[in-house]
Amino acid sequence: MYQLKIMKEQELSVYELSNSELGSWLKVVPERGGIITNYGVNGEEILFLNKETLYDFKKNIRGGIPILFPISGQLENGEYEWNGAVYQMKNHGVARNHPWEVLDTHIDETKASITLRLRSNEETRTEYPFDFEVLYTYTLTPDELYIDQAYQNVSGAAMPIYAGFHPYFKTASKNLVYHTDAKTYLDYNDMKTKSIQSSLDLTNKKESLVLLDAIEKEISFKLPDRQMSLTMTYGEEFKYVVLWTEQDQEFVCVEPWMAMTDELNQKKELVMVNPGETLQTTLTISIK
């Protein structure tokens, strides 16, 4: 049977969805950008988390699954122009820097879920001049995690987004084989486009790699430390998968993005949500 427990960790509210019989769990911290901090299957933790960064509001969280909205990546000089005005926005957008509201939780014999909401406010509008309502529903099942998303534009003009995810998967190995139909990737370390051979080794890479030309919205890989196979499937809006790590930390990030970095300045692949409309999409993480 699935359970819901709400705990306090250093003044943060932590919502834990779990099934002790299956050895699975999901922890969510609404105040810290609606982030998933932990995800466990068969008694094994899947995600890396630096708890010091979780508790320090001045730091970006290193770990879990941060939400990237309305942008993924960085903006050149931290700014962009829209309709003749210049705005400044932090890396990966506003969502991860604001508290989310818990709208609903649900527990039954087959699953457990939690729904969170982020609404625009005076502070978000200084970086991103649009009114929005974003809903995320996290659902834990025996061997899958579903992340259903709804991006609603409540502004009077079309709203540009290129959302994404930043999962930190716990692994000491940086040299993984990714099963994908992508044939090429952009190496941000030397800005060259290269062919994907067998594995992609992040061991000595400071900057990220971007898989460029996948058609199938799926990527699989093994976490060799635990002989665990992981598959991510995602909506058609996510055009790219970004791979990144830090050399002295035991994680690899595998990140579905809707567009490449600095797209609010490039304006070539923006996803536009019309006034009053909602973009709905999903991300599923499956474990075997």
Q: Which residues pair with 140 in a beta bridge?
A: 112, 145
Contact 6, 129 (CB under 8 A): no
- The domain segmentation of the chain, as residue ranges, is 3-287
Q: 109-140: per-residue pLDDT in tens?
A: 999 999 999 999 999 999 999 999 999 999 99
User: How far apart (Å, rounded) are the C-alpha atoms in residues 160 and 130?
Assistant: 9
Contact 258, 118 (CB under 8 A): no
Q: What's the mean pLDDT in 20-26?
A: 96
Q: What is the pTM of this model?
A: 0.97
Q: Which residues pair with 252 in a beta bridge?
A: 169
Provide the Cα torsion 63, 251, 38, 151; round to 10°. 60
For residue 198, name the pLDDT band (cuts at 50, 70, 90): confident
Q: pLDDT at position 150, please? A: 98
Q: pLDDT at position 146, please? A: 98
Q: What's the mean pLDDT in 33-61?
A: 96
Q: pLDDT at position 270, please? A: 98
Q: What's the mean pLDDT in 227-236?
A: 95
Contact 288, 170 (CB under 8 A): no
For residue 224, name the pLDDT band (cuts at 50, 70, 90): confident
Q: pLDDT at position 156, please? A: 96
Contact 36, 71 (CB under 8 A): no
Three-class DSSP category at 76: helix
The CATH fold assigned to 3-287 is: Beta-galactosidase; Chain A, domain 5 (2.70.98)
Three-class DSSP category at 179: strand
Q: What's the mean pLDDT in 226-230?
A: 87
Q: pLDDT at position 225, please? A: 81
For residue 275, name the pLDDT band (cuts at 50, 70, 90): very high
Q: pLDDT at position 85, please? A: 97
Contact 150, 280 (CB under 8 A): yes
Q: Nearest 5°: phi and psi at 266? A: -70, -40
For residue 13, name the pLDDT band (cuts at 50, 70, 90): very high
Contact 253, 245 (CB under 8 A): yes
